[in-house]
Amino acid sequence: MHKSMKTIGVKIITFLSVFLLMSAVWSCTEADEDVAVDEKYTYRMHLEGGLTGTYHSETKAVAWEDETVIYLQFMKDSYSVTGVAEYDYDEDVWIVEVDEELDETDADNCEAYYFADPVSATSMKVHLSENSAVYGDQQAAYSLRGDQLVVKGYLTPMTSRIRFHGVPGTMIEVSGMLFYSLYNLTQNKFTECTDKMQVQLNEEGWSEHIYAVFADQEKREM
């Protein structure tokens, strides 16, 4: 009797193990299917304006390199639709992917951001460092007819920049400077960081540029 009960117990445990394993597999499959069926809407975009007011004296728009990426927030009713645009140099057009279909419009608001030298980037988040320059236009506009999308935006520096000079090869510690460490596309939110920085001076005595957040965005001063 005892041996029979033990055998039944082993069978029950085995059945439960198989059931839980199959449940886990089904859960993973469902999750993968959810990701796979996410529909993307694609538009061909023309950018009027572009990267202007860089850290040099010129104010004209800068030529884009192939596969450059711009992150977009299209305002729609009381929320925004996120988009990622990649530049096709050969066709001189931006290919934009958005998670939701945009409404046709003659003029609606949008935001546009470009990051130079990010640490890493995905379609959802861009990780930045003190050496990453941030450009943006939070008062851009877009129009849409069919799949022809036009964005009017002038992406200007959202950070100041500074570098240090001293004895070549010297390692210096910098503290008290605020810089952007992350941009979350889904939340349209920047994360700021004030970590201490170890800065190496090169053989000519100069450090790399540090891109710090403006203390006053209107005055555009550190």
pLDDT grade for 176, boundaries at 50, 70 and 90: confident
Kindly give the pairing relationship between strand 125-127 and strand 79-88. Answer: unpaired
Q: Which residue has the higher pLDDT, 17 or 28?
A: 17
Q: Write out pLDDT tens, residues 39-63.
A: 789 999 999 988 886 665 454 556 7
What is the rounded CA–CA span in Å between residue 34 and residue 71? Answer: 24
Average pLDDT of the residues in 137-149? 94
30-44, 134-148, 177-191: range with lowest mean pLDDT: 30-44
pLDDT grade for 27, boundaries at 50, 70 and 90: very low
β-pair partners for 29: none
Is 99:180 a contact under the CB 8 Å cutoff? Answer: no
Q: Which residue has the higher pLDDT, 64 or 10?
A: 64
Please report, rounded to a whole number, the percentage of residues in the chain having pLDDT higher than 70.
74
pLDDT grade for 26, boundaries at 50, 70 and 90: very low
Q: Both ends of the chain: CA-CA distance in Å?
A: 83
What is the rounded CA–CA span in Å between residue 185 and residue 112? Answer: 11
Please report, rounded to a whole number, the percentage of residues in the chain having pLDDT higher than 90.
58
**Does residue 82 carry a pLDDT above 70?**
yes
What pLDDT shows up at residue 217? 59
> Can you tell me which residue has the tokens 């839980």?
20
207 CB-side CA count, 13 A: 20
What is the rounded CA–CA span in Å between residue 4 and residue 42? Answer: 64
What is the rounded CA–CA span in Å between residue 3 and residue 11? Answer: 12
Tokens describing residue 168: 């070549």
Positive or negative, the CA dihedral 60, 66, 68, 70 is: positive
Is 50:97 a contact under the CB 8 Å cutoff? Answer: no
